[in-house]
Amino acid sequence: MKSISSTKFALFGAALIAISYGLARFAFGLFVPPIRADLALSPDLIGVIGALPLISFVLSTLVAPLAAVRLGARNTAVLSGAFGAAGLA
């Protein structure tokens, strides 16, 4: 198996973060008014829903080093990408 350079691996990781964190977090804010009106959600509940991506990001940051030690950096990155793809689906 051919190894990739550390720069390419770092860029891959940055892309995963941008896709999984950035798109989900910023796209939600654009749709808050119609979602809130259609589902009659309170501002507090919308705030909790908006905070969930940040909470999941913090939790995954805590788990990632443990996963990297146990599974290896490459497998952890692949697993992260799979979770990101599943989340977007």
Q: Is the dihedral of CA 78, 17, 64, 51 positive or negative?
A: negative
pLDDT for position 23: 67
Question: CA 79 to CA 16: how far, in whole Å?
Answer: 11
pLDDT for position 44: 92
pLDDT for position 24: 63
Structure tokens given for 67: 């996963």
**Do 24 and 87 contact (CB within 8 A), yes or no?**
yes
Collapsing DSSP to helix, strand or coil, 79 comes out as helix
The residues near 79 (Cβ < 8 Å, ≥ 6 apart) are 67, 71
pLDDT for position 17: 76
In order along its 89 residues, the chain shows pLDDT tens digits of 677 788 888 888 888 777 766 666 677 778 888 988 999 999 999 889 888 878 887 888 899 889 999 999 889 888 888 887 887 77
**Domains of the chain by residue range:** 6-88
